[in-house]
Structure 1
């Protein structure tokens, strides 16, 4: 299962770039945020490159769009900020785009939304008897911020093995652990050091942000292809960055991310 997520910055001419990456990476599941281009045009371009993807039902969620080549797809919870789909009766995939802090501090509201999401996917996991969970999207916060890391949020740990205990107890309550591999892409040992760049005059500003993330359940760790986790910076059409090596806002202000879940090991 090869998955691509991209916040497309409401670019009405983004479809050629999407199709280019879908072709290059042989994508099975495409998830977008802030998509405002022509869906019919995108579908036709995907057919032309030989990778026809069908849009999933996401009535009730206008911020996330999802396309896939899987036939057995059932919609679960659809919310203004997230769309949950069940694939092949076993994979629970939640595409999300959470509130931003660019116009004020919405960390509490975002954390509340994350608590709702994790409750929904955990309840659905019990309902369909599957623990194969993927959370992917624009979190609008860093992996080390409260919503992504807190036990009552996504609980996305930087280090987690398949053999580790599945829960952590805080004040007598058990919380399921998740793994966030995006921690491995931080820093300047490789380019880029994040998926979003923003420079302002505030004292606290890392400038590079890892807003776009994939977080997986512990049960998927043996199947997660760590070597293929990637922040994409170019495609067949050319670079996705500008002359300062920041995301090119003429294309999108975010870099897309790519990951792969192996069917067997």
Structure 2
């Protein structure tokens, strides 16, 4: 059904690398932030006339390309830090709300700013869910936040849990008489040495501050419980190589990101309507 590739390309085009990943993963949606490449050149390089760019985005460094044989995508809400799209999947007649996010660097925003962005995102997504009568919602992007930060966890923010059974049981929480819709965040399973993937994050930074995480999970995909019937945790991947070429490097025994491509690692995410996809 949905095979989405996401990458913060670090103010580069990286067209060749993205095209290789598209072929390797058979992606039918490509979501990019901080991308400065020529879109027409990129589309011609796809060698598939069915791929189109979603139009109407006020931020030209935040882009979505999609295979129009599978989907129709249109912009339904624009914000300086995110765009919300309506996606229609033709084969199953499924309507999905897809949000593409790029929150500012931690160098330029504080905790209050991130929380405010999360509240804004939640409010506008719920507005569109009500208008379109669906809770089939996916949010993807570079949040410049880790999954355990308040904007993700607080019910008035995005309201996420990293436990699938909890997300399914408490798809909507009631606190002091007010109802809050929840999301499932598979990124929790990719933190630390025992993570599902090859690396414990998507962004590495060795800070000189007292609190230093080293690896951060800034790039994430979060999903409404209504779509979890199409999702398995193995369908969420932090990509660490392209055609056998590593995106990582060894820094005196510590695995870090090779920034000759980007300072972020790409993500791949799938929703499957059946086991044969």
Q: Same fold (TM over 0.5)?
A: yes
1:61-100 paired onto structure 2 within 5 Å: 61-70=59-68, 71-88=71-88, 90-100=95-105
- Aligned residues of 1:8 and 1:252 also touching (Cα < 8 A): yes
**Which structure shows the higher strand fraction?**
2
The 1:23–1:51 alpha-carbon spacing in structure 2 relative to 1, beyond 3 Å, is farther
Of 187, 190, 199 in structure 1, the residue corresponding to residue 192 of structure 2 is 187
Q: How many residues align?
A: 261
- Aligned residues of 1:17 and 1:237 also touching (Cα < 8 A): no
RMSD: 1.7
Structure 2 segments unaligned to the other structure (5+ residues):
89-93
The 1:199–1:182 alpha-carbon spacing in structure 2 relative to 1, beyond 3 Å, is same
Question: Any idea what the Cα deviations from partners look like across 1:205-243, whole Å, max 9, x if unmatched?
Answer: 111000000000010111113212100010126221233
Partner Cα distance (1:106, 1:78) in 2:
22
- Taking structure 1 as the reference length, the TM-score comes to 0.93
Partner Cα distance (1:239, 1:41) in 2:
25
- 3-state SS, counterpart of residue 43 of structure 1: helix
Structure 1 segments unaligned to the other structure (5+ residues):
none
Partner Cα distance (2:228, 2:242) in 1:
28
- Aligned residues of 2:186 and 2:221 also touching (Cα < 8 A): yes
Comparing 173-182 with 67-76, which one deviates more in the overlay? 67-76
Residue 218 of structure 2 corresponds to which residue in structure 1?
211
Of 48, 53, 58 in structure 2, the residue corresponding to residue 55 of structure 1 is 53
1:236-255 paired onto structure 2 within 5 Å: 236=243, 238-244=245-251, 245-255=255-265
| Alpha-carbon shift at residue 174 of structure 1 (Å) | 1.3
| Alpha-carbon shift at residue 58 of structure 1 (Å) | 3.2
Partner Cα distance (2:221, 2:248) in 1:
21
Residue 198 of structure 1 corresponds to which residue in structure 2?
205
